[in-house]
Amino acid sequence: MKKIIIIGATSGIGRELARRYAERGDLVGVTGRRNDLLYTLRLEFPNHIVTECFDATAPDATTHLESLVKKLGGLDLLIYNAGWGELTETLDYTIDKDTVDINVNAFLEAIHFGWRYFSTQGHGHLATTSSVAANRGNRHSPAYSASKAFQSTYFEGLRIKARHLNIPLYVTDIQPGFVDTDMAKGPRFWVSSPQKAARQIARALDHHRWRVYVTRRWWLIAKIFKWIPDWIYHRLG
């Protein structure tokens, strides 16, 4: 039985991932700001779900994570899944700042907590739900794609760092395309259900994959994003 924390599991991908782990008998610590949704998840799996309600951007976020690890009695896998973004055609500062607060600053605090914990323990697994949007800037939501690029690039650095530690500390960068949740904005294609996304994410984490595209066909879009010349991409965007 693995001990797992999913930060941002009240809805969407995180909630389905928590369900999947609980169903197979793992012990899952779930977080988010909406306590009623944490409560109903716990009711579904009273022996496999523990909850901690907090805002990941608040100054006491690490204290909440410590409390959750105590409730779980240890930790094997920490998934930073909380995230937010909004279309901002007029470049709204508040939207950009809120995006960076949750997708960069709170991410950094949680990942540092996990890294300290796992490197002291001598093993563990860190994962983040980034996005295929990490691969290129976009005018509809510049802070969102930049914040996800931060996560993915940071995780590449951590992966190399972890190899140098010579301990089983795994790192996984999850890059979803469109998943049918409140988060998916604007025109969409190749939309996956949150259940399918959770299934593919859990499988990749079981195999300690370092990067996973969800669904798998989004690998192609990520590669096109990376290699399409600027002069074409900037005209299409």
Give the ranges where 134-184 is alpha helix by DSSP (H). Answer: 142-165
Gap between the Cα atoms of 117 and 19, Å rounded: 25
Gap between the Cα atoms of 88 and 19, Å rounded: 33
Smallest distance from ligand NAP to CB 101, Å: 7
Smallest distance from ligand NAP to CB 163, Å: 26
Which one from 144, 154, 170, 213 is the annotated catalytic residue?
A: 144
- Select 9 or 146, whichever has its Cβ closest to ligand NAP: 9
Strands 124-129 and 3-7: unpaired
Please indicate whether residue 213 is annotated as part of the active site.
no
**Of 65, 67, 47, the residue nearest 56 (C-alpha):** 65
- Select 32 or 124, whichever has its Cβ closest to ligand NAP: 32
Gap between the Cα atoms of 233 and 237, Å rounded: 6
Per CB under 6 A, residues contacting ligand NAP are 8-14, 32-34, 55-57, 81-84, 102, 129, 131, 176, 178-179, 181-184
Smallest distance from ligand NAP to CB 81, Å: 5
- Select 89 or 182, whichever has its Cβ closest to ligand NAP: 182
Sheet holding 49-53, edge to edge: 49-53, 27-32, 3-7, 77-80, 124-129, 169-176, 211-214
Smallest distance from ligand NAP to CB 213, Å: 10
- Select 27 or 41, whichever has its Cβ closest to ligand NAP: 41
Which are the catalytic amino acids? 144
